[in-house]
Every structure is written in structure tokens, then in C-alpha cells.
């Protein structure tokens, strides 16, 4: 008699051949999309942008990504959540909640890393042959860098203002008076670009995020 | 006999709590049973058929119509993009300061709460408001609570609620309005306090979600294409939810005409003349669907009210209720504040349930003046409207935010309990 072994879902033994083939196809299709397209998707999925045209979303995605990349260049090589003073906590339950990482500012600034999602992400990157884009262990670093960007933006009003100015959106225009408007989701996109630049990723983390979402769905269906 | 009626009420609460019967059906059965044990004849004066079922079912007709028109205006605001534009503008103006966004969404929810209540109000403010707040970093439970506290802050000015209390407690609308004006500062102050304190305590939360880069579903694409076609509603259309309030409060116009004026204003400011008829009819028919649950409840409450006002029921309940109802203002405030959670979980003090029957008993037995019962029920309405984990607006707002209704109850109850305390103090000071 053997005891049942339970653990995080795995792509190698958790998927039927048909489902596995379908997942590879989906991920290959995702990889064909341009990185900018993922930025547009993220903004498009953010509430308040329902009435925005694709050109406007594309312009904002480009500006937010450039801002995040430049912020990473300014931050220098000695980053990490520790630099911002945030505590790092590892936990599971990410696959159920469809989360990879979370930043909370209270009671103390904390970065929560969902280890089950990170493990599946690492396995997926290897399984799909995406190691040239996402090196082993890079996802954890990207998650830390992503939340570090949120931490930086949260604690620095000037930085938030700079991002808003970069996006160039107006909430109100009365003659010469112009009130700059906030673009929901732009900070998230900037954080992804920051993470990609800090960790030297070959593609946007949003590509792996979308692939992970497909993998979780496939594992749930099998 | 009084004991039998109380036991029947207890059984009714049990049936509602155990979800064996929907609240409306349980209240109708309770009304008929109370009338029967009170010795009411089947037909004729003070009877089961003619008084309880026939007259009782239409007692709150004016409230039902006000609820329907409120839902009509709500549907119109949703279809023409007025509600969505209000939330979008708030995010654009204050998006990088989550507390400012939450305060803005709170104000929009309050404005919408003056037009319509319950789940439709929560949806109108929350469908864009909740994910928008979460997107700028407001934690999920705070986002759900903000919508509910906002609606409750608008509730003292919700015209269908005025109509309900006016008809159910047999009070002039002016008297109801007078009390609501006194309750509003408590509801507004604690709603703002909720946002400020909870924002400070919980800070911001940003998540790396796996669904953030999902391809947009085809239904979403249709919705977006419709939203793009509509664009933002013009700024003057955003005043639509305030129109009924200004007319009813500022010009003391009757409730139903005030609400109809709001419908016409929303239509005229957003719709081309050749599309007006079609849009008016479409939104009116959709409003019937939205208003069906509260209307069914108001029919049932009318029946229960008619039953507890029967002479036999009043005579039986009078000594019992007199014995347990505090007359001293301090004891009144203390006892009824402690009892406030009994309006949760469809409990016996729920105003839109058995609580309406108890209110009827308190008035018809002459224990408290109708104005004091108004203060008591309106104060409890604040607790029930926000923190009850079985009320549709709380369940919807919690689930849409991705938290449980119990989490929302725990977070909001201290604030709405204080609002109830404020309302009870005003009642004791001015009405007892």
C-alpha cells in the first residue's frame, strides 16, 4: 500500500496529452504577440477604460512601460524589496486566488510571494522552452522587483506625479487650465516594466502571467 | 394570546433565518396566522380577507411606485453612462491617492443611494467603483464597505424610504424628512470616518494578478464597443441623481413627481429626441425586474402591518410589549442600541421584515409615538443596510470585491452601530 502524495499541481503529471498540447498551442500563440499588446490588454482589463480606443491605450502602455524601465535604470543594481524596507513573506494559496505576489503597506510594508504560483511559473517557463526569456529563478526576482516598484510609487508623490505627467492624460481642460488625469493600471504596467528591466527578462512578465493563467485553467479542467 | 402571537413571530424568524421560506412569503403567512389567532373573522370589517389581505397588500402602494421609479432612474443612469462617468471622473481626478478615490466613490454611492437602494444601488456604484478602487490600491474589504457605507449615507435622502416610513408609520412626509435631516449628519460622518480610518489602518494593497493580461472576452468586447459609442455622459447629465432630491428637499415637491422629474432630466440630457421613446420604455421594463423583489416585500410588509393593527392583536400584545419597552430616554437608548444586531441575519428587528410588524405593534398599542418608532426603525435601517450579511447589497458588494459578507459585516458594524446610537439619541431627545 502506498500513501497518496499531494503537492502543488504539476504540468508533467497533471495534464492529459490533449490538454498539454492545447496549452502549448495557447502559450505559443501568446508568445507571438508583441510585448506592447500585453500592456494594452492590461489597461483594457482595468475598469474605467471601457470607453477608450486602442490607440489611446497603446500610447499610455508605451509611456508607462518606458517610465518603469527608466525607473529601474535610475534605481541601480542594488535593488530588492529590502531596499525599500518592505518585509518579504512567503505563502501558498496563490493558485486558488490567481495571485503571484502582493504588496500591502499596512501594518508594515510587506511583499507577499505566493510560492505555489512561483513554482508553477518556473516549471512552465522550462516546459515551454522560454528559459532564454525567463532564466531559472528570475520569476521570484521579478515578483520582488515588481512589488518594490509599487512600494517606491506608493511612498513618493513626486514619482507618481512624474508618471502622471508622462502619460499626458487630462481629466479636465478649461481654456488654458489643464488638470492632469490619473490613468488606472498605468502604475501596474510601470511595475512590470521595472521588474523586466531589473531582472533582465527577455520578454514582459505579462507574457508569463498570461501563460500561467492558461496553465492554471488547464490544470483545473483536467 | 399575546404569547401565541410572539411564538408565531419567533417561528417566522426561524423560517426566514433557516431560509425555509423567502422573507416575503414568511411575512404573508405570519400576517394571516396573527389575524387568525387574534380572532379576526374571515370577511367583513377587521377581517383576514378584506382587511389583512386586500387592504394590507396595497397599503404601501405609493412606496412600491416610488421604488419602481427609483429603479427606472437607476436603469437610465446605468444605460446612459451617468453612473460610470461619475466613477471614472473620480478616478481620473484623484487616482494616485487611494483615500481620495474612496471618498469620491463614497460620495457617488451616497448620491446613487438617494435615488435607489439595496442591490441595484450597490451595483450601479460598485460595478465600476469597486474594481476601480481596488486598481488604485484600496483593499478589497474597504472597497466593499465604502460602497455600502456610501449608500447608507444617502439613505436618509432616499425618497422611496421617506414614502415607506410615511405610509407604514402613518406620518406626514414632512415629519419623516425632519428626522432624516437629523440622521444624515451621523450617517455621513461615520461613512467618511470609515474611509479615513480604514484607509489609515489597512493602507494600500497591490496585487500581481494572473488575470491581468487575459485576452478580453467577446462579451467584454461588446460592452466596450457600446461604452465607446456612448462615451462619457455630459457634465450636466451627471446632476441627474440630485434632481429628485433638490425638488423634494429644496422645493418640497411630492416624492413621485420629483422622481419623475429626475427620469426626464436624465433622459433629456443624454438621449437624442428620436431615441427617447425607445429608451424610456426599455429602461422602464428593465426597472420592473429590478424592483420586483422590494415590491414583493412591501406587499408582504403591508399585510403584516394590517394584521398587527387588528384590534384583537393590539389587545393581546399591548400588555406584553408595554412590560418590556423602556420609557426612560436613557434606558431607551441603551436597550435599543444593545439590541441593534437583532436586525442582522433577517432578525426580528429587521425593518424590512418582522421589524415592520413590531413597529406596527409599538404604535398601535400606543407604547411609543409614531415619531419615536420612526427614529428607532430608521436608525436600525442604517445597521441593516450596511452590515447584514444576508442582505442582497452586502452579499453582492462583498462577493464582487472577492471577500466574504461576514468580513464586510465585521469591518462596518462598529461604524453603523455608532450611526444607530446617534439616531437613537436624537429620537430620545426629541421624540420621547
Residue of chain A whose Cα is closest to the Cα of B131 = A47
Quick check: is A1 in a domain? Answer: no
The DSSP result for B222-253, as a single string, is HHHHHHHHH-SPPGGGGGTTHHHHIIIIIS--
Distance CA B26, CA A10 (A): 51
Shortest distance, CA A185 to any CA of chain B (angstroms): 6
pLDDT of residue B315: 85
- Cell output for A141: 526576482
Residues of B whose CB is below 8 A from A102: 205-208
CA distance B100 to chain A (A): 12
Range of the domain at A41: 11-221
Question: Which helix (DSSP H) or strand (DSSP E) does residue A188 occupy?
Answer: helix A186-199
ipTM (interface predicted TM) = 0.88
Q: In this structure, is residue A3 part of a structural domain?
A: no
C-alpha cell at B237: 447629465
Nearest CB among B91, B214, B227 relative to A45 is that of B214
**With an 8 Å Cβ cutoff, is A100 touching chain B?**
yes
Q: Locate the DSSP E strands across B170-316.
A: 205-209
**Residue B69 to residue B197: CA distance in whole angstroms:** 36
Average predicted confidence (pLDDT) for chain A: 87
| CA B29/CA B23 separation, integer angstroms | 10
Q: How many angstroms separate the CA atoms of A14 and B263, rounded?
A: 56
Number of neighbouring beta carbons within 10 Å of residue B50? 16
Nearest to B96 among A99, A100, A160 (CB): A160
Q: Do A50 and B84 touch (CB under 8 A)?
A: yes
DSSP A127-143: HTT-TTTS-TTHHHHHH
Q: Does residue A19 belong to the interface with chain B, where contact is any CB pair within 8 Å? A: no
Question: What confidence tens digit (pLDDT) does each residue in B71-95 have?
Answer: 899 899 888 988 888 888 888 888 7
Average pLDDT (A156-185) is 89
CB-closest option in B135, B139, B215 to A185: B135
Residue % of chain B over a pLDDT of 90: 50
Phi-psi region of A203 (alpha: psi -120 to 50; beta: other; left: phi over 0): beta
| Residue A107 preceded by cis peptide, ω within 30 | yes
Look at residue A2 in the predicted model and tell me its pLDDT. 40
For residue B139, count other CB atoms closer than 10 A to its CB.
Answer: 25
Tell me which chain A residues have a C-beta less than 8 angstroms from the C-beta of B89.
171
Question: Within a domain: residue B176?
Answer: yes
Please identify among residues 178-207 of chain A the ones whose CB lies closer than 8 Å to any CB of chain B: 179, 181-185, 187-188, 191, 206-207
A87-91/A110-114 β-pairing: parallel
Phi, psi of A89 (to 5 degrees): -125, 135
| Disruptive mutation site among A45, A96, A215 for chain B (greatest number of B CBs within 10 Å) | A45
pLDDT in tens, B288-300: 988 898 899 889 9
Number of structural domains (chain A) is 1
User: Does A17 score more than 60 pLDDT?
Assistant: yes
Measure CB to CB from residue B203 to each of A99, A104, A184 and give the nearest one.
A104
Tell me how far apart the alpha carbons of residues B259 and B292 are, in angstroms, rounded to a whole number: 18
- Name the pLDDT band for A58 (thresholds 50, 70, 90): very high
From the number of C-beta atoms within 10 Å of its C-beta (0-12, 13-18, 19+), residue B3 rates as: exposed
Q: A32 CB near a chain B CB, below 8 Å?
A: no
- What B268-272 contacts at long range (C-beta under 8 Å, 24+ apart), as own/partner pairs, is B269/B233, B269/B234, B269/B236, B269/B237, B269/B240, B270/B76, B270/B80, B270/B81, B270/B82, B270/B233, B270/B234, B270/B237, B271/B80
The pLDDT value recorded for residue B143 is 95
Place of cell 464586510: B408
Q: In angstroms, rounded to a whole number, what is the distance separating the alpha carbons of residues B335 and B396?
A: 31
Residue in this structure with the C-alpha cell 491617492, named with its chain if needed:
B97
pLDDT for residue B145: 96
Q: In this complex, do B216 and A45 lie within 8 Å of one another by their Cβ atoms?
A: yes
What is the maximal distance between C-alpha atoms in chain B?
68
Among A73, A66, A82, CA closest to A148: A82
d(CA B304, CA B325): 21
Considering only CB atoms, which chain A residues are within 8 Å of B139? 104
What pLDDT does A79 receive?
52
Q: Classify residue A76 by its DSSP letter.
A: -
Asked whether residue A162 carries a pLDDT value surpassing 50, the answer given is yes
The H-or-E segment that residue B157 falls in is: none
pLDDT tens digits, B332-344: 999 999 999 988 8
Question: Which of A52, A161, A182 has its CB closest to that of B94?
Answer: A182
Q: Between A and B, how many CB-CB pairs are < 8 A?
A: 136
Q: Testing the interface with A: which of B105, B208, B228 to mutate, by most A Cβ within 10 A?
A: B208
A30: closest CA of chain B, how far (Å): 10
Query: What is the percent of chain A where pLDDT is above 70?
Result: 91
Q: What are phi and psi of B198, to 5 degrees?
A: -70, -35
Report yes or no on B361 lying in a domain: yes
Flag whether B283 is in a domain: yes
Sign of the Cα pseudo-torsion (B15, B16, B18, B22, in order): positive
In this complex, do A209 and B208 lie within 8 Å of one another by their Cβ atoms?
yes
Domain with B303 in it: 2-204+235-430
A210 with B204: Cβ contact below 8 A = no
Rounded CA-CA distance B404/B421 in Å is: 26
Most A CBs within 10 Å, among B134, B140, B210, to test the A interface: B210
pLDDT of A155 reads 83
Query: Of B189 and B395, which is predicted with more confidence?
Result: B189
Q: Which residue from B95, B200, B216 is facing A184, i.e. has the nearest CB? A: B95
Residue A68 lies in a domain: yes
pLDDT at A3: 41
More confident residue, B12 or B281: B281
Out of A42, A50, A172, closest to residue B227 by CB: A50
How far away is chain A from the Cα of B205, in angstroms, using its nearest Cα? 4
pLDDT tens digits, residue range B175-193? 999 999 999 999 999 999 9
**Cell match 442582497: residue?**
B392
CB A86, CB A147: distance < 8 Å: yes
Provide mean pLDDT across the span B375-400. 90
Among B384, B374, B379, which residue's Cα sits nearest to residue B341?
B384
Query: How many distinct structural domains can be found in chain B?
Result: 1
Q: Is residue B212 part of a domain?
A: no
Mean per-residue pLDDT of chain B: 88
Distances (CA, A) of A210 to A22, A26, B38: 15, 10, 66
Work out the number of other CB atoms within 10 angstroms of the CB of residue A36: 14
Contacts with B231 from chain A: Cβ below 8 Å: 51
Mark yes or no for CB contact A181/B93 under 8 Å.
Answer: yes
pLDDT at B260: 94
Facing residues of B310 across strands? none
pLDDT at residue B222 in the model: 56
Residue A6, domain member (yes or no):
no
B226 pLDDT higher than 90: no
User: Of the candidates B87, B213, B230, which has its C-beta nearest A41's C-beta?
Assistant: B213
Other Cβ atoms within 10 Å of B27 Cβ, number: 29
What are A103's three cell numbers?
A: 504588496
Share of chain A above pLDDT 90, in %: 60
Q: For residue B228, what pLDDT is reported?
A: 54
| Contact: B136, A184; criterion CB under 8 Å | yes
Question: Containing H/E element for B23?
Answer: helix B23-37
Amino acid at each position: 500500500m502506498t500513501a497518496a502524495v499531494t503537492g502543488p499541481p504539476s504540468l508533467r503529471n497533471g495534464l492529459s496529452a490533449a490538454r498539454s498540447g492545447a496549452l502549448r498551442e495557447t502559450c505559443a500563440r501568446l508568445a507571438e504577440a508583441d510585448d506592447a499588446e500585453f500592456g494594452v490588454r492590461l489597461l483594457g482589463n482595468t475598469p474605467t477604460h471601457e470607453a477608450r480606443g486602442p490607440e489611446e491605450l497603446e500610447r499610455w502602455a508605451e509611456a508607462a512601460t518606458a517610465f518603469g524601465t527608466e525607473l529601474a535604470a535610475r534605481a541601480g543594481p542594488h535593488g530588492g524589496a529590502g531596499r525599500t524596507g518592505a518585509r518579504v513573506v512567503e505563502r501558498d494559496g496563490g493558485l486558488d486566488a490567481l495571485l503571484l505576489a502582493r504588496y500591502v503597506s499596512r501594518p508594515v510594508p510587506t511583499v507577499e510571494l505566493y510560492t505555489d504560483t512561483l513554482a508553477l511559473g518556473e516549471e512552465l517557463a522550462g516546459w515551454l522552452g522560454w528559459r532564454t526569456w525567463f532564466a531559472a529563478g528570475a520569476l521570484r526576482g521579478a515578483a520582488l522587483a515588481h512589488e518594490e516598484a509599487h512600494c517606491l510609487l506608493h511612498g513618493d508623490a513626486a514619482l507618481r506625479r512624474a508618471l502622471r505627467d508622462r502619460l499626458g492624460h487630462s481629466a479636465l481642460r478649461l481654456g488654458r487650465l489643464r488638470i492632469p488625469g490619473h490613468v488606472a493600471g498605468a502604475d501596474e504596467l510601470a511595475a512590470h516594466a521595472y521588474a523586466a528591466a531589473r531582472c533582465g527578462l527577455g520578454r514582459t512578465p505579462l507574457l508569463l502571467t498570461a501563460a500561467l493563467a492558461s496553465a492554471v485553467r488547464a490544470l483545473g479542467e483536467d | 394570546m399575546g404569547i401565541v402571537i410572539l411564538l408565531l413571530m419567533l417561528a417566522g424568524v426561524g423560517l426566514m433565518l433557516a431560509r425555509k421560506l423567502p422573507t416575503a412569503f414568511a411575512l404573508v403567512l405570519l400576517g394571516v396566522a396573527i389575524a387568525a389567532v387574534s380572532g379576526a373573522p374571515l370577511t367583513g370589517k377587521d377581517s383576514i380577507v378584506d382587511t389583512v389581505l386586500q387592504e394590507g397588500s396595497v397599503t404601501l402602494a405609493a412606496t412600491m411606485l416610488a421604488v419602481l421609479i427609483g429603479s427606472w432612474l437607476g436603469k437610465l443612469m446605468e444605460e446612459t453612462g451617468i453612473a460610470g462617468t461619475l466613477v471614472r471622473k473620480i478616478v481620473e481626478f484623484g487616482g494616485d491617492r487611494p483615500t481620495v478615490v474612496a471618498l469620491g466613490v463614497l460620495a457617488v454611492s451616497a448620491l446613487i443611494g438617494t435615488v435607489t437602494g439595496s442591490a441595484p444601488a450597490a451595483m450601479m456604484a460598485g460595478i465600476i467603483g469597486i474594481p476601480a478602487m481596488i486598481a488604485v490600491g484600496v483593499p478589497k474589504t474597504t472597497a466593499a464597505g465604502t460602497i455600502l457605507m456610501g449608500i447608507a449615507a444617502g439613505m436618509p435622502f432616499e425618497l422611496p424610504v421617506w414614502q415607506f416610513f410615511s405610509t407604514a408609520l402613518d406620518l406626514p412626509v414632512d415629519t419623516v424628512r425632519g428626522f432624516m435631516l437629523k440622521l444624515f449628519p451621523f450617517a455621513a460622518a461615520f461613512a467618511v470616518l470609515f474611509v479615513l480610518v480604514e484607509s489609515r489602518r489597512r493602507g494600500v494593497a497591490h496585487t500581481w494578478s494572473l488575470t491581468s493580461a487575459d485576452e478580453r472576452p467577446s462579451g467584454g468586447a461588446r460592452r466596450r464597443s457600446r461604452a465607446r459609442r456612448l462615451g462619457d455622459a455630459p457634465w450636466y447629465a451627471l446632476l441627474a441623481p440630485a434632481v429628485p432630491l433638490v425638488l423634494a428637499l429644496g422645493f418640497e415637491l411630492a416624492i413621485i413627481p420629483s422622481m419623475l422629474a429626475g427620469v426626464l432630466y436624465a433622459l433629456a440630457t443624454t438621449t437624442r429626441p428620436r431615441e427617447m421613446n425607445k429608451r424610456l420604455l426599455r429602461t422602464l421594463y428593465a426597472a420592473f425586474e429590478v424592483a420586483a423583489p422590494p415590491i414583493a416585500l412591501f406587499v408582504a410588509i403591508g399585510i403584516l402591518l394590517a394584521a398587527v393593527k387588528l384590534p384583537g392583536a393590539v389587545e393581546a400584545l399591548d400588555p406584553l410589549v408595554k412590560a418590556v419597552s423602556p420609557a426612560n430616554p436613557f434606558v431607551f437608548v441603551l436597550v435599543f442600541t444593545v439590541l441593534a444586531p437583532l436586525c442582522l441575519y433577517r432578525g426580528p428587528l429587521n425593518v424590512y421584515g418582522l421589524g415592520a410588524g413590531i413597529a406596527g405593534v409599538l404604535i398601535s398599542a400606543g407604547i411609543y409615538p409614531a415619531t419615536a418608532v420612526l427614529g428607532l426603525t430608521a436608525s436600525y435601517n442604517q445597521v441593516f443596510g450596511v452590515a447584514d450579511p444576508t442582505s442582497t447589497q452586502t452579499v453582492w458588494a462583498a462577493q464582487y470585491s472577492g471577500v466574504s459578507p461576514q468580513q464586510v459585516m465585521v469591518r462596518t458594524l462598529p461604524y453603523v452601530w455608532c450611526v444607530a446610537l446617534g439616531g437613537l439619541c436624537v429620537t430620545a431627545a426629541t421624540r420621547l
